[in-house]
Every structure is written in structure tokens, then in C-alpha cells.
Amino acid sequence: MYIYDDYDQQIVDQRVDQFRDQTRRFLAGELTGEEFRPLRLQNGLYIQRHAPMLRVAVPYGHLRSDQVRALAEIARKYDRGYGHFTTRQNIQYNWPKLEDVPDILADLAKVQMHAVQTSGNCVRNTTTDQFAGVAHDEIIDPRPWCELIRQWSTFHPEFAHLPRKFKIAVCGSVEDRAATWVHDIGVHVVRNAAGEVGFKVIVGGGLGRTPMVGAVIREFLPSLHLLSYLDAVLRVYNRYGRRDNKYKARIKILVKAMTPEAFAAKVEAEWSHLKDGPMTLTQAEIDRVAAFFTTPAYQALPAEDEGFARLRSENKAFARWVERNVFKHKQPGYAAVTLSLKATGVAPGDATDAQLDGVAELADRYSFGEIRVSHEQNLILADVQQADLPAVWEAAKQLGFATPNIGLITDIVCCPGGDFCDLANAKSIPIAEGIQQVFADQDYLFDLGEIDLNISGCMNSCGHHHVGHIGILGVDKSGSEWYQVSLGGRQGHDASLGKVIGPSFAQDDVPGVVRQIIEVFVEHRQGDERFLDVFDRVGMEPFKSRIYQKERAHG
Amino acid sequence: MGKHPHIIKLDRSNGQREIVANHWLRVAEGCDDTIPAHTLLPLKEWLERRDELLGRADVGIWFGPDDEPEALGQDAARLSIIAVDFPAFTDGRGFSIGRLLRERYGFAGELRAVGDVFKDTLLYLRRCGFDAFEIRADKDVEEAAKGLDDFSEFYQGAADQPLPLFRRRGG
């Protein structure tokens, strides 16, 4: 994992001082609320329904155990004993006091953490595959590139006040686990025919009010040019992105208006001035950063541990957990374990201080002291020996993190919704719980196979509902909360957006609607077909006619 | 528009700054006659009278956020002062304008930020090549100047320091 040197540390320390001064001036009336707002947002601080909300950056989802302990301590000391992991692999606190935030930042800085650019109209936290570095299908480790992008984007003076927020995702594996097609910029680390490392660059994807799948503007960018090329893309966006209407201000609107071809040409023209300039990466810098992401000290182990295999064949519950929550590792005898933060009755993505401390302990004992956050809001121990899996399973059960549901319909991706968020039209957490209760029968749940269910409380789409196989969106209708359901969305290399099934539903009806969707799926299913396969084969109609046979929907 | 009493002036060679009286009048449009000394004209108007004004060091230009440095081009190198208007501090287009004038079009004169300018964007402005800051009249100028020191190290190259940190780290 990346370790700060004196330069990195000084930058986050000075950020704490700067924000302390900004907070002081706001409280003293020297900064108006309107002036303070963009400044605090660039430090992840929202003023929400009940209290401020602070979003802390977890760069590309990587944490060390000491950092997780610090997050637990902050939850205890400044909040109500818990935090919420987000779809940007960050963590947010729902109950800090405004005047405490500078102290929280100072505590974070002690463990090389910060809240820089976790909100606001600037380049946000870069995200990647939660299995980066260990995935069996990885082509190139994306993490050094994520760190280089993190440094480039941190307090970039020219792009500090963009038309709108800007999100970059990087992927280096066969399967795209970083949703790169629905980001402002998606970067695929690839090799060309000559074996050189470079990037395929996608722009203009995004969810939100106007969801779009991005377009490739460069098939192969040689690796040394990554940052100067990003400068060119951002400069074109900064200058020409719309600023008159916040709903049309994302880069996707500009790319669509110009056409991807014209946008690409504009970027190339700008880049021709920047190419081979000082922002050209050096091999020494790439090597320096890559050295932080080397392989840990793996032991030489057999491909399958005997004790693990035995328990797996004897214990159904363990086998089930392995099938859902254990991911194939590139190193023989090792596995990556996903701790499910999706137990029924708990807000998806929430973790208490005790759970965080427990996870830190597990990481120290079993996984080289490192933890990852996935954009599906779960936690990962990336380097566990197979022989330790039974012990990790037992410990995860104690923590409440062993629900064997990764990739299943109850592994719900969900924003904080109307219970916490000021922007939301509708609640999302109670919807998630209602749906999870429908699928309480483990055998039934298991048989259904992979189904992504995503819930967003409003069009901002923090719950990524557009790319859920089943997507649920909270909408406001004359002051009451309704839910629109879409089917057929998906992330990955064949990313596409779900289609709305029909008129929206009242909150109490949503679990029943999901139950009906699943019933239709089961009736049409052939063999082990996945939900998506069935949907692609039979289309929307059977679902629609079942759900709307009774007069349940309104307007 | 008009004339603020004071500006912060930064010496780009050594980082020293002082608060000085403002001699320049920024106008929404010029007059038909000879432009008075110490006038900042809108870019469009200056371009229309380019041949008359190019030799005058006592007339400058101001850019709105929509104005394009490309329209001025290499003439920038012959001007003594250019102002860039930030109608709101959250409108970052002026940052790109500053860098283009400095880094692409060779502008070496005074680059002045005007409009919604106060402590919290001064360092970004400085990094984008600005060396004069017309602080909003209702803000404390002395306090604002401290914003130039919020950070002492930066990751990216920019107009003030073309070399990114990765070319200087450990060196």
C-alpha cells in the first residue's frame, strides 16, 4: 500500500490547517454560508437533514489496519459509533459536529488519511477493482496508476472549480469490476500488440439524471502520457462544459453535444501542446509508486488446502459462504474474502466501531494488515490463506459480516436515502430491509443466483440503480415517496442501463413487486440461467403483465 | 467593474507580496476617442482596435470567463497587463485562461484576478500564473494575502512551478 513521505504528509497537514481556518472564519461570520459551502464540500462536509455529514476519502478503496482503527475511534469519539461505506469506496459519518471537523481531519492526517475532494465540483476519489493486485483475471495492477492519478488530481489548481463533479475509475482486469463505462473518465490499463503498457480511455459515461454509457476517445495511450492527457481532457471540460444548468454540467453532456469524435479531436488538439511536456511521467516515478504495490510475502502453498476442502464438503453453511463470499486468488492456496455489510436489518454499508476494530484485527491476523472497500459497499480481506478460511468465517460470523450473499439479491447497493440525505426524494434503507426480508429463506435465495439490486433515493443515483439488474429509484410525487423500478441494467464491459418497467409504486408495495419479478424469473428460467439471461431472453413483457395485472400502480 | 482601491501584488521571482494602490480602471466599454491611460478594455473591444492599441503599454485587456486566449494569441506577449474576471469564485474557467496566457502565449506582464476574489482561491490563482489580486471590497486584504501560503508543496506542474513534484521529489 502507498505510504506517505514528508511531502505527502505536509500536504494533508497543511490541508487540516487551511480547513480549520475556513471553519473558524465561517463561524466568525467572515465567510458567508454561500461562500463556505463549496469550500466545505471540497472537504467532504455536507450540511444534512439532521447534522453535518463528513465523507472521508479511501483512495481506490485501500485501507491499512491502523487506518481502520482510526476510523473506528472517530466513530466513537465524534459520531454515534458507526460509519457508512459508500459506492465510491469512501466512508462517511452521519453525525459529526461542524466545529469538530478540523479535529477529525487532524486525527485522520495522523494515519495518512483525509477528506480532500470527496465532494464538490472537482476531481473525486479515483476508484478501482476491489480485487486489484490479487484477481485471477488481472492483466495489470491498476493501483499504481490510481495513486498517480490521486496525486495529480489533489489540489490541481486549474481544475479546482469544474462545472460539476468529476469521477475517474481504473480497471486492469478481464472483467470490469470498477464500472468504468459509467464514469466521467474510465481508464482500462492494457497492453498493445508490442506488449507495452498503456490505457484505453473512455469518457462521458455516468449515471444520475441523464444516464449514459461512455465512449472510447483513445484506444491506446502510452503509459508515460497518462497525466498530460488527463490534463487535456479536463482542460477541454473546464473551458467548455456547461455551467448554466447543473443538470447539464457533467462531461457526458458536453461529449454528447460535441459528439465523441469531435470531443476526442478537441482533446487531441489540446494534448498536442502538452504532450512530452513536464507532466510526462518518468519511468522512475512509475517504479517508485509501483514499489508500494508489490506482492506481499506469500507462502508457497498447495493449490487447495486439505482442511479447508474437508470443511467445505462437510459443512453446508461454510460451503455456501465460500461459494458466495470467497473470490479466486491468483496465488495458489490463497483467497480473497468479502465481508458482507448487507445483513438484513442493517443499513447496507454500515459498520460499527466495534466491527471496524474487529475487521482491523482480522486483517492483522490473516491478511497482511490490509482491508479494501468495494464499490458494492462491502469490505475485503484480499490475501487470506485457504487454511485460515474456517477461522475467518467464524470470526466474521461473530462480527455479523458473514452473510453469504455476495452477488445475490440481498447484497443490495443502497445510498443513505431520505433517512439521512438532504437531496433524497425518498427513503432507501427501509426499502432494502423490506426486500431482504422477502428473501430470508437461504435455500431459495441461493437458488436464485446472481442478481444485482440497487436502490437510489433520488436521481443523483448514488445507489447506481441504472446498472442494477433490478434498479429502484425513489421519486417524489406531490410530496409523497414513490419508487420507480427498472430491469436489465448491468455493469461490466457490457454495461447498459436498465429500462423502467412502468408506473411507480408506493413504499409498502416495493417488496411485493420485487417478489413478483423474481417469481416471473423463476417460472421462465431454464436450468441455471441467471436473472439477466432470462430477462434478455423473455424481455420486459412477462414482468410487466404480472406486476400490473392488479391496479397497484399509480400515475 | 470600476476601480478597487487596493490590490495584492506578488513578485513571481521571489514570492514577495505587497498591498499597493490600484492605478487601473476596468471598463465595460471604451470610448470612441483615444483610450485614456491605465484603462482595461474588454478583449473584444481591444481586438477591434488592435492596430491602434498594440503599441500602448498603458492600455490593458480584461477577459470574461467565455473569452478565449486563442483570440489574442501571440499578441499577449506584447501586453503589460491582462485582467481575468471571476464572476463567481466557483467559476474555474479563468484558471485555464491564466495558464494558457502564461504557458502558451508567452504573456509576461501583470496577470490580475478580478471579481469574486478572496483568500480561498489565491493560491490556485497564483499557481495558474496570476500575480495580482483585486480582493473583493468587503474582504480583509491582509487576511486574504495569507491565502497565498496555504500550501508550500504541490503535486502537479503549473504556471508557477512547471515541474511536477515527481520530477523534484528527493532531488
ipTM of the complex: 0.97
The Cα A109–Cα A11 span in angstroms is 10
* Ramachandran area for residue A290 (φ above 0: left; ψ -120 to 50: alpha; else beta): alpha
Of A30, A156, A239, nearest to B156 by CB-CB distance is A156
Contact B128 A156 (CB under 8 A): no
Q: Could you tell me the CATH number of the domain that includes residue B110?
A: 3.40.50
Which among A158, A226, A237 is the top mutation candidate for probing chain B, defined by the most B β-carbons within 10 Å of its own β-carbon?
A158
Of B92, B93, B150, nearest to A18 by CB-CB distance is B150
Range(s) of the domain holding residue A92: 6-110
Tell me the shortest Cα–Cα distance from A417 to chain B, in angstroms. 27
Residue A206 makes CB contacts below 8 A (sequence gap 6+) with A167, A182, A183, A184, A212, A214, A250, A251, A252
Tell me the pTM: 0.92
Q: Is A280 within the bounds of a domain?
A: yes
CB atoms within 10 A of CB A185: 27
Of B91, B152, B162, nearest to A243 by CB-CB distance is B91
Q: Is A225 within the bounds of a domain?
A: yes
Of B92, B156, B158, nearest to A238 by CB-CB distance is B92
For residue B66, the model assigns a pLDDT of 96
Contact A154 B155 (CB under 8 A): yes
A477: pLDDT confidence band, cut at 50, 70 and 90?
confident
A310: pLDDT confidence band, cut at 50, 70 and 90?
very high
Task: Looking at the structure, tell me whether residues A268 and A346 fall in a common domain.
Answer: no
Give backbone dihedrals phi and psi of A13, rounded to 5 degrees, phi first.
-65, -45
Of A31, A121, A279, nearest to B164 by CB-CB distance is A279
For residue A555, the model assigns a pLDDT of 45
Task: Looking at the structure, tell me whether residues A280 and A131 fall in a common domain.
Answer: yes
Q: Is A188 within the bounds of a domain?
A: yes
Range(s) of the domain holding residue B12: 6-167
Q: Is B91 within the bounds of a domain?
A: yes
Chain A CB contacts of B121 below 8 Å: 160-161
Contact B95 A227 (CB under 8 A): no
Chain A CB contacts of B157 below 8 Å: 277-279
Contact A22 B120 (CB under 8 A): yes
* Among the listed residues A53, A104, A74, the one whose alpha carbon sits nearest the alpha carbon of residue A352: A74
For residue A418, the model assigns a pLDDT of 86
Of the listed ranges A4-13, A125-134, B55-64, the one predicted with least confidence = A125-134
* Among the listed residues A9, A290, A6, the one whose alpha carbon sits nearest the alpha carbon of residue A148: A290
Task: Looking at the structure, tell me whether residues A315 and A434 fall in a common domain.
Answer: no
Task: Looking at the structure, tell me whether residues A539 and A457 fall in a common domain.
Answer: yes
Q: Kindly state the DSSP code that residue A245 receives in the 8-state scheme.
A: -
A551: pLDDT confidence band, cut at 50, 70 and 90?
low
Tell me the shortest Cα–Cα distance from A30 to chain B, in angstroms. 8
Each residue's pLDDT tens digit, B91-143 = 999 999 999 999 999 999 999 999 999 999 999 999 999 999 999 999 999 99
* Among the listed residues A149, A131, A152, A151, the one whose alpha carbon sits nearest the alpha carbon of residue A141: A131
Contact A278 B157 (CB under 8 A): yes
Q: Could you tell me the CATH number of the domain that includes residue A489?
A: 3.30.413.10
Q: Is A474 within the bounds of a domain?
A: yes
Chain B contact present for A151, CB below 8 A: yes
* Among the listed residues A531, A431, A449, A439, the one whose alpha carbon sits nearest the alpha carbon of residue A488: A531
Q: Is A301 within the bounds of a domain?
A: no
Contact A151 B92 (CB under 8 A): no
Task: Looking at the structure, tell me whether residues A464 and A359 fall in a common domain.
Answer: no
Q: Is B116 within the bounds of a domain?
A: yes
User: What is chain A's alpha carbon radius of gyration, rounded to the nearest angstrom?
Assistant: 23
Of A31, A160, A279, nearest to B95 by CB-CB distance is A160
Task: Looking at the structure, tell me whether residues A133 and A174 fall in a common domain.
Answer: yes
Q: State the count of interchain CB pairs (< 8 A) between A and B.
A: 103
Residue A282 makes CB contacts below 8 A (sequence gap 6+) with A224, B166, B167
Q: Is A1 within the bounds of a domain?
A: no
* Among the listed residues A227, A231, A275, A233, the one whose alpha carbon sits nearest the alpha carbon of residue A258: A233
Q: Between these two residues, A552 and A145, which has the higher pLDDT value?
A: A145
Tell me the shortest Cα–Cα distance from B68 to chain A, in angstroms. 9
DSSP per residue, chain B: -B--SEEEEE-TTT--EEEEE---EE-SS--SSPPPSSEEEEHHHHHHTHHHHTT-TTEEEEE-TT--HHHHGGGGGG-SEEEEEESSTT-THHHHHHHIIIIIS---SEEEEEES--GGGHHHHHHTT--EE---TTS-HHHHHGGGGS-S--SS--SS--S-GGGTTT-
CB atoms within 10 A of CB A101: 23
The Cα A196–Cα A192 span in angstroms is 6
Tell me the shortest Cα–Cα distance from B125 to chain A, in angstroms. 7
Chain B CB contacts of A155 below 8 Å: 124, 151, 154-155
User: What is chain B's alpha carbon radius of gyration, rounded to the nearest angstrom?
Assistant: 16
For residue B60, the model assigns a pLDDT of 97
Contact B156 A152 (CB under 8 A): yes
For residue B30, the model assigns a pLDDT of 75
Could you tell me which chain B residue has the CA closest to the CA of A156? B156
Residue A416 makes CB contacts below 8 A (sequence gap 6+) with A84, A92, A94, A347, A424, A428, A429, A457, A462
A419: pLDDT confidence band, cut at 50, 70 and 90?
confident
Task: Looking at the structure, tell me whether residues A66 and A97 fall in a common domain.
Answer: yes
Each residue's pLDDT tens digit, B45-102 = 999 999 999 999 999 999 999 999 999 999 999 999 999 999 999 999 999 999 999 9
Chain B contact present for A461, CB below 8 A: no
The Cα A134–Cα A60 span in angstroms is 15
Chain B contact present for A5, CB below 8 A: yes
B79, B50 contact by CB (below 8 A)? no
A230: pLDDT confidence band, cut at 50, 70 and 90?
very high
* Ramachandran area for residue A22 (φ above 0: left; ψ -120 to 50: alpha; else beta): alpha
Give backbone dihedrals phi and psi of B2, rounded to 5 degrees, phi first.
90, -155
For residue A304, the model assigns a pLDDT of 93
Which among B89, B91, B120, B139 is the top mutation candidate for probing chain A, defined by the most A β-carbons within 10 Å of its own β-carbon?
B120
Each residue's pLDDT tens digit, A356-385 = 999 999 999 999 999 999 988 999 999 999
A468, A409 contact by CB (below 8 A)? no
Q: Is B1 within the bounds of a domain?
A: no
Contact A279 B120 (CB under 8 A): no
Q: Is A122 within the bounds of a domain?
A: no
Of B104, B126, B151, nearest to A155 by CB-CB distance is B151
Task: Return the C-alpha cell found at A57.
Answer: 476519502
Residue A224 clears pLDDT 80, i.e. is over it: yes
Could you tell me which chain A residue has the CA closest to the CA of B92? A161
- Enumerate chain B positions whose Cβ falls within 8 A of a Cβ in A: 89-93, 95-96, 99, 104, 118, 120-121, 123-128, 140, 143, 150-158, 162-167, 169
Residue A501 clears pLDDT 90, i.e. is over it: yes
Q: Could you tell me the CATH number of the domain that includes residue A340?
A: 3.30.70
Q: Could you tell me the CATH number of the domain that includes residue A82?
A: 3.90.480.20
Residue A23 makes CB contacts below 8 A (sequence gap 6+) with A40, A98, A99, A101, A102
Chain B contact present for A24, CB below 8 A: no
Residue A465 clears pLDDT 60, i.e. is over it: yes
Each residue's pLDDT tens digit, A21-45 = 999 999 999 999 999 999 999 999 9
Chain A CB contacts of B148 below 8 Å: none
Chain B contact present for A6, CB below 8 A: no
For residue A550, the model assigns a pLDDT of 66
Q: Is B155 within the bounds of a domain?
A: yes
Chain B CB contacts of A277 below 8 Å: 157, 162
Chain A CB contacts of B158 below 8 Å: 157-158
For residue B171, the model assigns a pLDDT of 53
Domain total in chain A? 4
Contact A161 B92 (CB under 8 A): yes
Q: Is A554 within the bounds of a domain?
A: no
A495: pLDDT confidence band, cut at 50, 70 and 90?
confident
For residue A554, the model assigns a pLDDT of 53
Chain A CB contacts of B138 below 8 Å: none
Three-state secondary structure call for residue A540: coil
Domain total in chain B? 1
Could you tell me which chain B residue has the CA closest to the CA of A227? B156
The Cα B157–Cα A274 span in angstroms is 11
HSE value, Cβ hemisphere, 13 Å, CA-based, for B77: 6
A51: pLDDT confidence band, cut at 50, 70 and 90?
confident
* Among the listed residues B65, B101, B61, the one whose alpha carbon sits nearest the alpha carbon of residue B83: B61
For residue A309, the model assigns a pLDDT of 96
Residue B150 clears pLDDT 80, i.e. is over it: yes
Task: Looking at the structure, tell me whether residues A379 and A440 fall in a common domain.
Answer: no
Each residue's pLDDT tens digit, A57-88 = 999 999 999 999 999 999 999 999 999 999 88
Helix (H) or strand (E) holding A476: strand A470-477
Tell me the shortest Cα–Cα distance from A151 to chain B, in angstroms. 6
